[in-house]
Structure 1
Amino acid sequence: MVSPAIALAFLPLLLTLLIRYRFYFVLFYRAVLLRVWRDCRTGLSREERCFQYVLTNATPGDPESILDGFDSWCTKKEFISHIGPKKGKILDRLLSEHSPLTVLELGAHCGYSTVRIARALPLGARLFSVEMDQKNAAIAEKVIRLAGFDEALVELIVCPSDEVIPRLRADFDLEKLDFVFMDHWKKCYLPDLQMLEGSGLLGKGSMILADNVLFPGAPNFLRYIRRCGLYEWRVHRATLEYSKGIRDGMAELVYQGTK
């Protein structure tokens, strides 16, 4: 057993670590421990619990009400890694400035960002939203339709991104993507970006916005865009959605074409 004297010697270090990394401990509790406990207690997934809350508290056909429902759940109940309202305003502004007609979303999850994007698109635009998890995609489909968006505006594609991207031109008659939002597996950011480059779907001025590039982080993706010379780019500094004290950021890329 550890003697009391040794335990007391380590107490200041332990307190220092708890204070310094308190926001990460809170995130671990909300995102992992609380989730596992409620999964076992309810027999429902975190995403299913969130959808039930939104369905009960939001107004059908009102995208803002649905987004507010998600934000309320994720703030007060359980953590889900949606883009959230603060970083969402950056996405809103870029969509408003560029008015894209063809949009690709990689990582629909529960449909939060899909609804956020769809509500900002001009008349005649199309949003292709990709989600590989079938259970999450089923929830996203319900959320998108609950918000009032039909398949003419939003098409949900249930498939891994690396299988969808090579087929976009042939299967969906796409010539160019005006806007791409990445919020799926961070390890996929770089290979999917390079796949988009190779597909010919990025034209001069095409914009890519990638979330969570600082936390959990996408270092290979950031290293590539710094060195490749194909983009004008910047990182919007922010904090992690529905959290305090955890630094994060969104990478904004504008494709300039091959050099």
Structure 2
Amino acid sequence: MLLINAPRSGDMVSLLLISLPLLPVVFVATTLCHSRLLAICHRVCTRLLKLFHGKVCVKNTHAYVFSNCTHGQAASVLETFNLYARTHASVSIGPEKGEFLDEIVRREAPLRVLELGMHCGYTSVRILRLLPPSGKLLTVELDPITAEKGEEIILVSGFKTPQFQVQTCSSAEAIASLPSQLGESCLDLVMMDHDPEQYLPDLLALQRGKLLSARCVLLLNRTQEPGAQALLKYVSARPQQYNIEQQFLDMVEIHCCVTIHPQGEKS
């Protein structure tokens, strides 16, 4: 029979004494590994959520609206969006903020509108149905599938291509191409509902390009996001250039006081 000798108490004490100095090292290593693992998991989950978020918009929202609305009627399209959002996840601004947007579009009657972030076309339809006859909407969406489905929703709502243009590119690329598209005109309304981290860089690019009219209105959605807060801090520090007019939920209306040139002179 094979006998295994149990460790003696003296050996156990010696082993414990040797191990004690190593405990902090083991603790730190375990903590670092755990933190790195958590960080990796967070990044993966964030990417999966963003991917899922986009698929919800493109596949589910578009299919429901397209199949259930009355084609050619913008009011029916918007109501179908709202019906969908009552029982499903949705990325549209919804009827409450939509009415806030409507109020501003009616009051300002903008001729040239830039929408950054399309989200299946809900906001696009709300804006287009209230524009003056000579008004035009340029809507920008980075994701090609969302842009394609959003354009279908706009067409289903009864609008024609001369009334709008969809650009599938980054906001920076779209802003860089605006001078050739606008000619002598400037933007009267800018709706920002894309990546909040791009809000301030895009506003600065619009400034440098002299693309904002003297009566331009900026509308920011998701103002609780750090990127939106950075823009609000920027405009709050420049009351001679911008007025923060009103806020509804997490959407803010900002008015340009003057046309801003790259060198800082005012017109």
TM range, smaller chain: 0.7 to 0.9
- 1:165 deviates by 0.4
> For 1:111, what is the secondary structure of its paired residue?
helix
Residues 227 and 173 (structure 1 numbering): CA distance in 2 closer, same or farther, change over 3 Å? Answer: same
Structure 1 counterpart of 2:145, from 115, 135, 144: 135
Unaligned segments of structure 2, at least 5 residues: 1-47, 261-265
Q: 1:145-224 counterparts in 2 under 5 A?
A: 145-173=155-183, 175-214=185-224, 218-224=228-234
Moved more, 208-217 or 94-103: 208-217
Tell me which amino acid in the other structure corresponds to 1:228. R
Runs of 4+ that moved beyond 4 A = none
- Distance, in Å, in 1 between the alignment partners of 2:64 and 2:213 is 41
Residues 58 and 216 (structure 1 numbering): CA distance in 2 closer, same or farther, change over 3 Å? Answer: farther
- 1:108 deviates by 0.9
**Which is higher, the Rg of structure 1 or of structure 2?**
2
Cα contact 1:168–1:174 (8 A) shared by 2: no
Residues 166 and 147 (structure 1 numbering): CA distance in 2 closer, same or farther, change over 3 Å? Answer: same
Tell me which amino acid in the other structure corresponds to 2:197. K
Q: Percent same amino acid among aligned pairs?
A: 33
Structure 2 counterpart of 1:66, from 46, 69, 77: 77
Cα contact 2:100–2:248 (8 A) shared by 1: no
Cα contact 1:59–1:65 (8 A) shared by 2: yes
Structure 2 counterpart of 1:94, from 104, 109, 118: 104
Kindly tell me the number of residue pairs found equivalent between the two proteins: 213
The equivalent residue for 1:6 is none
Question: Are 2:67 and 1:56 aligned?
Answer: yes
The equivalent residue for 1:234 is 245
Unaligned segments of structure 1, at least 5 residues: 1-30, 239-248
Q: Does 1 or 2 have the higher relative contact order (CA < 8 Å, sep 6+)?
A: 1
Residues 107 and 174 (structure 1 numbering): CA distance in 2 closer, same or farther, change over 3 Å? Answer: farther
With the length of structure 1 as denominator, give the TM-score of the two structures: 0.76
Residues 132 and 32 (structure 1 numbering): CA distance in 2 closer, same or farther, change over 3 Å? Answer: closer
- Distance, in Å, in 2 between the alignment partners of 1:216 and 1:227 is 17
Cα contact 1:231–1:253 (8 A) shared by 2: yes
Cα contact 1:203–1:256 (8 A) shared by 2: no
Tell me the C-alpha RMSD between the 2 structures: 2.4
- Distance, in Å, in 2 between the alignment partners of 1:116 and 1:237 is 17
- Distance, in Å, in 2 between the alignment partners of 1:217 and 1:236 is 17
